[in-house]
Homo-oligomer: A and B are copies of this chain.
């Protein structure tokens, strides 16, 4: 009998070394002055700058990119999911007032391909550099028998810091406060299982086909980068102009706004205040998706909601040229939902 070894069992440690060689300069490019370690240690080391935080509270979040991955893989755009993942994670701790510090990634593939792994990490490193986050560590796993074909999964964890006195948790939200919407850049990373069913199954399109009603391809429309709201929101946090922040991810407005509302309050969302961006409108028409389902599954153009006092509303609206007033915080009668939609959706007008 032939002696068995790791390679014959499907694990190519040479390919793992090639991944390490490929990502080493990427990891080194995404660093900060507080990082003490270099790649190759068991754990990454990050010294907190206590001069900036009297009562530091760490804020951490883990996420994946869902089945947007499949679209990225089919289009051969392997940098896209990494960038999206970092943006998503930054937004998820930004809503509690945190400055992002460092990120760690998990990448798993059935049969490791160094080029693919390196490009995924390149997207992660690019976003880390852009938003001042250290890429402190990560894990690249080869999982023979999992992930058929060239499929892979990628997830990540972010850790940030906020001073205890500056945590944003919605507790200061009051009736009469204004809800300001910052536009999304597309689907972000939510609703892809439905979007894929509409585009690839019902409409029968491929990633390189023109996207309905658009000048770009299906890949262009579906893989638009998940916007990171740190640049827009950090100055507002610094200025104390923010009472509540909600990152609109899975579950849409009605799934995410309630997380930051004190008891007895609701947000009135004026549906006639904005037009559905073309990518969502194409999905709505292509799938015959109801308005209620659209609002539950997709961000529908609203990527981040900022709750602010009426006097600060103008300043918040000025943080983004395309921001608009989404609605208002109102009192919530016993048993009523925390999000109250009013008006006819703007996307139904004049069609």
Contacts and interface: CB of A to CB of B under 8 A. Distances in A.
A316 interface: no
Interface string A47-80: 1101000011111111110110110000000000
Nearest to A155: B106
Given A9-B197, A47-B57, A58-B159, 16 more contacts: A2-B288, A5-B194, A6-B194, A6-B296, A9-B196, A36-B57, A43-B60, A43-B61, A43-B92, A43-B93, A45-B167, A61-B137, A64-B106, A146-B153, A148-B148, A155-B155
A197 B4 contact: yes
Given A47-B55, A155-B108, A157-B62, A4 B198 contact: yes
Interface in A8-45: 8-11, 13, 36, 40-45
Interface string A88-107: 00001101101001101110
A146 B151 CA distance: 8
A143 interface: yes
Given A45-B96, A197-B4, A70 B108 contact: no
A28 to B, nearest CB: 17
Interface of A: 1-6, 8-11, 13, 36, 40-48, 50, 55-64, 66-67, 69-70, 92-93, 95-96, 98, 101-102, 104-106, 108, 136-139, 141-148, 151, 153, 155, 157, 159-160, 164, 167, 169, 191, 193-194, 196-198, 202, 247, 251, 259, 287-290, 293, 296-297
Contacts of A64: 106, 108, 139, 141, 143
Given A42-B61, A143-B66, A194-B11, A47 B104 contact: no
A4 B202 contact: yes
Question: What is the predominant secondary structure among interface residues of chain A facing chain B?
Answer: mixed
B60 A137 contact: yes
Nearest to A169: B41
Nearest to A142: B193
Contacts of A11: 193-194
A293 B169 CA distance: 53
A169 B64 CA distance: 32
A157 B106 CA distance: 9
B59 A43 contact: yes
Nearest to A96: B43
A136 B93 CA distance: 13
A45 B66 contact: no
Given A41-B259, A43-B92, A43-B98, A60 B4 contact: no
